[in-house]
Amino acid sequence: MSPKADDALDNLLMEKAKIVELSDSEEGGPPFPGSHLKRDVHPLPPWLTSPALNLFPEEYATASSDAFKKVRNECLPHLLGEDNQNLPLNKYGLPHLRREQHINFLHSTLGNLPAPYVALDAARPWLFYWGFSGLTVLGEDVMQYRQRLIETVRPMQNLQGGYGGGHGQFSHCAASYACVLSLAMVNGLEEVNRNTMWHWLGKIKQPNGGFRMAENAEMDIRGAYCAFIMITVLNLPLELPPSSPARHAGLKTFDDGLGEYIRSLQTYEGGIGATPGDEAHGAYAFLAMGCLSMIDAPNKIIPKYIDTSALLRWMACQQTQPEGGYAGRTNKLVDSCYSQWIGGTWALLQAAFGAGEQESSENVWNKQALVRYLLTCAQQPGKKGGMRDKPSAKPDGYHTTYALAGLSAAMNHYHYDTEAPTRSESGRLTSGFNWSGKSPTPEKMEKLGVEESDLVGYVHPVYVMPFKVVENFSTKFEKGGFGK
């Protein structure tokens, strides 16, 4: 460390000692933002009053530290309650969940969209998937969309199997995933041609155990997660179809080589990248952990392929201070969608710790901080509703859905039944079906700072949708095979 940096660190530590001293004394008050506010009613939590807020000395400013500062400054007034954006507050001084407005916003994403959305044409299945998924977290019934959805996705299915983003587009893992889960939410899975889907998935399974996103397309962990969603939802045979290129390389089943492939994605930081050697990113942590959790019981399979303590450390480090939400990767900015990608991965990691430790590790991450970020910073004020990445961003379906799913991860508790079977009679992988949800106790609600009306529904930790829907498809197609 250079002498100058050394001095800066010394100064920082002295400053820290001073702050701790000041915050203990009656008069004076700690020199953190918002310290002038009356705190006797709603005392500020410690992560908002710590010296880490002063970690950006001007003389060492960089583009990244400037970006951090900008986000901190746009969030702090909301986090501290200096600017509540005219939102009605609950008895803990946090804005209420804007249930009605978010519901209206999500419905609006399912209608006609403004012209710029043409750029998202190939991502159309994502758009309706997010709309449905967000609505169901808020307890809304989406069956009213059943007929419209069926007619929308019918031309997206290709004769050779799988779904493209629109009529005439090549089949793609993400489009297929979003179409299949959307159909599941409106009880429309009969629409899917399971036989051709099986054949198509066989073509994207690779000799190294991974999956491509489409034929000849890029290979990354999204492909494997989406494929296993389809395999388990539709109860497709685990055996590879004869035409699969992976079969020619000696693999026999869709899960052959996959654990080893996933192991190769964990990085020196402890997080998980999209492909071997890639930077660790929250979205891929979820996909890798979710994929493993569909193949076998998390307590068995996750520790086999993932260094769980290294992952834990990395996940914990992505929760940003003072905002309290998650960033997707090291040295990047808080963004509400990672409330799901990382917030939602905690249940899977806790289940990996085994039967006893699932519950005892309940406080392994700061749920209060995430709830505060989401309620104060991620909710769009005014008539529009919806949720946003951060205060300076506009709300959209993607952030609304994953911010709500993150709220659910923070509020509810998810339990994996380590005694439940991981295979059905037809040979289907059933470990993804062994989860249950638990609502927060009054004590937990008080700790989180939420009232009854701020609670959101259970979001399945693997399938990211209502438990009721998962329960329905878990017994569908149970005969297996492709007979009539």
Residues labelled catalytic: 281, 329, 332, 335, 337-338, 389, 396, 399
CA 158 – CA 327 distance, rounded (Å) = 37
Question: Binding to ligand FPP by residue 323, rule CB under 6 A?
Answer: no
CB of 328 to K ion, least distance (A): 6
Number of Cβ within 10 Å of residue 389's Cβ equals: 22
Alpha helix segments (H runs only) across 274-362: 282-295, 298-305, 308-317, 338-341, 345-352, 355-360
CA gap 141, 284 in Å, rounded: 30
CB 385 within 8 A of CB 395: yes
**What length is written for the chain?**
484
Candidates 203, 329, 367, 372: give the one binding ligand FPP (CB under 6 A). 329
Task: Indicate which single residue of 256, 335, 396, 454 sits in contact with Zn ion (rule: CB under 5 A).
Answer: 335
Q: Which residues of 200-211 are buried (b: 16+ CB within 10 A; e: fewer)?
A: bbbbbbbebbbb
Decide whether 251 or 283 has the Cβ nearer to ligand FPP: 283
Shortest Å, Cβ 173 to ligand FPP: 7
If binding is defined by CB under 6 A, does position 332 make contact with ligand FPP? yes
State which residue has the least CB distance to K ion: 335
Q: Which is nearer to ligand FPP, 33 or 466 (CB)?
A: 466
Can you tell me which of 162, 188, 298, 328 binds ligand FPP, judged by CB under 6 A? 328
Whichever of 340 and 474 has its CB closer to ligand FPP, that residue is 340
- Give 226 or 351: the residue with its C-beta nearer to ligand FPP: 226
Shortest CB 422 distance to ligand FPP, Å: 22
The residue range among 68-76, 112-120, 164-172, 221-229 that interacts with ligand FPP, by the rule CB under 6 A, is: 221-229
Question: Do 55 and 9 touch, CB atoms closer than 8 A?
Answer: no
The smaller minimum CB distance to ligand FPP, of residues 44 and 221, is found at 221
Residue 315 binding partner per list ligand FPP, Zn ion, K ion, none, with a CB distance cut-off of 5 to 8 Å that depends on partner kind:
none
Binding of residue 390 to ligand FPP (CB under 6 A): no
Residues with Cβ < 8 Å from 398, sequence gap 6 or more?
Answer: 126, 130, 337
Stretch that binds ligand FPP, among 96-104, 250-258, 329-337, 445-453 (CB under 6 A): 329-337
- The Cα 326–Cα 333 span in angstroms is 8
Q: Check: CB of residue 224 under 8 Å from CB of residue 258.
A: yes
Output the smallest distance, CB 179 to ligand FPP, in A: 13
Using rule CB under 6 A, residue 281 touches ligand FPP: yes
Binding part of the chain for ligand FPP, among 9-17, 79-87, 325-333, 433-441 by CB under 6 A, reads 325-333
Shortest distance, position 340 Cβ to K ion, whole Å: 13
The stretches of 27-123 forming alpha helices (DSSP H) are 63-79, 99-108
Distance, CA of 302 to CA of 308 (rounded, Å): 8
Total residues interacting with ligand FPP, rule: CB under 6 A: 11
Is residue 225 a contact partner of residue 287, using CB atoms and an 8 Å limit? yes
Tokens of residue 79, six digits: 């986090």
Contact call for residue 337 and Zn ion (CB under 5 A): yes
Number of CB atoms found within 10 A of residue 282's CB: 27
- Residue 47 or 338: the one with the smaller Cβ distance to K ion is 338
Of residues 33 and 397, the one with the C-beta less far from Zn ion: 397
Sign of the C-alpha dihedral computed for residues 163, 125, 219 and 260 taken in this order = negative
Among 97, 106, 174, 231, binds ligand FPP (CB under 6 A): 174
> What x-and-dash track marks residues 308-347 binding K ion by CB under 5 A?
---------------------------x------------
The secondary element (H helix, E strand) that includes residue 441 is: none
Nearest approach in angstroms of CB 129 to ligand FPP is 9
* Alpha carbon distance 455, 212 (integer Å): 38
When the beta carbons of 78 and 222 are compared against ligand FPP, the nearer one is 222
Rounded Cα distance between 33 and 31, Å, is: 7
Dihedral sign for Cα atoms in the order 281, 283, 289, 291:
negative
3-state helix, strand, coil in the chain (%, to 5): 50, 5, 45
Q: How far is the CB of 328 from ligand FPP (least distance, A)?
A: 4
* Residue 255 touching K ion (CB under 5 A): no
Return the residue of 323, 335, 396, 454 that touches ligand FPP, per CB under 6 A.
335
Residue whose beta carbon is closest to Zn ion:
337
**CB environment 334-359: b (16+ within 10 A), e (fewer):** bbbbbbbbbbbbbbbbbbbbbeeebe
Measured CA to CA, the distance from residue 410 to residue 344 in angstroms comes to 8
**Contacts to ligand FPP by CB under 6 A:** 174, 177, 222, 225-226, 281, 283, 328-329, 332, 335
**Contacts to Zn ion by CB under 5 A:** 335, 337, 389
**Contacts to K ion by CB under 5 A:** 335
